[in-house]
Amino acid sequence: MPIARPTGRIHEAAWTSGIRELTEPWKGALGCLGVAVFFAMTIGIISWQALEQPPEEWMLRGQASGMLWDRRRGALLLRALPMGRPLVSITVGSVPASEPPPPRDRCWQDGTEFCYAWEEEAELRISLQPTPAPGTECYSVRWTPLRPDVMLKDCFSMANVSWYGGASLCAQRWPLNSAESPEQPFVSGDFSKNPTGSPIWQYDGPVGSAAKIKRGLRSLARRLKRHRMQEGVLALGEHGTAALATMDHVPAERRKRHGAPHAWDPAMIFPLRLSITLSPYTSIAAPLFLHLLRDGETGYWLSLQPRYGGCSIPLLTTWKGQLCARLNITNEAALSWYLSRARGLRHKLGATYVIFEGAEGNAFLEQAMSPPAELAGDQYAEMLAAALVTLGNATVISVGA
């Protein structure tokens, strides 16, 4: 009897079940691989966006400059356009957050203002002010506490900074009590030609004589022009100013006879501008002091009255290592003479700015003497500041020099 051999065919249902058992593990593996790839791509895209995000973000743009936020340092930057170097950096100090977040503008609908609040404790508001003069831009930066227990402090770091121009001055408490001045533009040159602004170059050259000072200023101006840094201000100290003023007063005939150098010509340093320095002090060895003393004008200086009558005696004090007399600010004739002399020197030397030093301090109290009632406390600084304001906006009063 023949034996039936298996035909080798598998039942269709069994075949389908076997295929299903073989493919299901691969589907799970492929699914896990797909999820892993998806997460990797997501993380990569987020990292790429974070790395590609610029460290500086524009907050407010003007015509010649703009304000940016520096994410790395947590600072506000005033930058010249187009993409010049930063002119001013305002570092945000002890803000509540450990790392200051990127700013979110609350005043985005207004193109001339930027607003941001730090964790509802302090509000920053930056606005572009109306142009006070052609070619200038003014920014107003204001911090406002949002809670009564929050106290804000303004701290300024002047490291590697030369600053001139001015913000508004309202009711300073010391030593310029009650002194006020309107807001003035910070003018430092043409940003399109010189994005870094125009610095103040302090003259540290030879000051032995007027001729040496003149040669030194001319040499410094040449070096700056050679390096294309001809925009700015050359600041001459008090001693150099006095030397140039003395040379300027030498008559022309005497200069020709003795071979003395010619008077100072500001065209020698053009387009650089010159600033001169004055103070209410005069050395007792200076010809100016001796000349006024011979003329009997002892009332031009702060003086002591002798007990038994006679001429007043100038009160001597030390200024920059020299024995000096100080201008009597309460004497109208002396004050008028001093202001007239300052105007004359600015005109003759062609100076753009006049810096006044030595307004602070009380010469009587420094020597343990009782000052007159009109010069009690900081009255000297107040009266001198009020008088110097009449010289115009190109006047700089330096306190604590």
Q: What's the 3-state SS for the chain?
A: CCCCCCCCCCCHHHHHHHHHHHHHHHHHHHHHHHHHHHHHHHHHHHHHHHHHCCCEEEEEECCCEEEEEECCCCEEEEEECCCCCEEEEEECCCCCCCCCCCCCCCCCCCCCEEEEEECCCEEEEEEECCCCCCCCCCEEEEEEECCCCCCCCCCCCCCCCCCCCCCCECCCCCCCCCCCECCCCCCCCCCCCCCCCCCEEECCCCCCCHHHHHHHHHHHHHHHHHCCCCCCEEECCHHHHHHHHHHHCCCHHHHHHHCCCCCCCHHHHCCCEEEEEECCEEECCCHHHHHHHHCCCHHHECEECCCCCCCCEECEEEECCEEEEEECCCCHHHHHHHHHHHHHHHHHCCCCEEEECCCCCCHHHHCCCCCCHHHCCCHHHHHHHHHHHHHCCCEEECCCC
Looking at residue 326, its pLDDT comes to 93
Residue 151 is predicted with a pLDDT of 77
Side by side, the strands of the sheet bearing 113-118 are 113-118, 122-128, 139-145
The span from the CA of 194 to the CA of 355, in Å, is 25
State residue 166's pLDDT score. Answer: 43
The pLDDT value given to residue 303: 87
pLDDT tens, residue by residue, 294-338: 877 778 889 887 777 677 788 888 898 889 999 999 999 999 999
Length of the chain: 401
The residue ranges of every structural domain in the chain are 57-145, 200-397
Residue type, 118: W
CA 203 to CA 235: how far, in whole Å?
6
List pLDDT tens digits, range 196-206: 555 778 888 88
- pTM for this structure? 0.53
Q: What is the pLDDT of residue 174?
A: 47
Which value, to the nearest 10 degrees, does the dihedral of the CA atoms of residues 158, 160, 162, 167 take?
-30
194-250: per-residue pLDDT in tens? 555 557 788 888 877 888 888 999 988 888 888 777 778 888 999 899 888 876 444
* Topology (CATH) of 200-397: TIM Barrel (3.20.20)
Task: Tell me the per-residue pLDDT of 152-169, one tens digit each, with 9 for 90 and over.
Answer: 766 655 554 444 444 444
- pLDDT of 251: 46
Q: Which residues of the chain have pLDDT under 70?
A: 1-30, 45-54, 83, 85, 92-105, 132-133, 153-198, 247-263, 309, 399-401
> 313 φ, ψ to 5°?
-110, 125
For residue 341, what pLDDT is reported?
93
Q: Which amino acid is at 140?
A: S
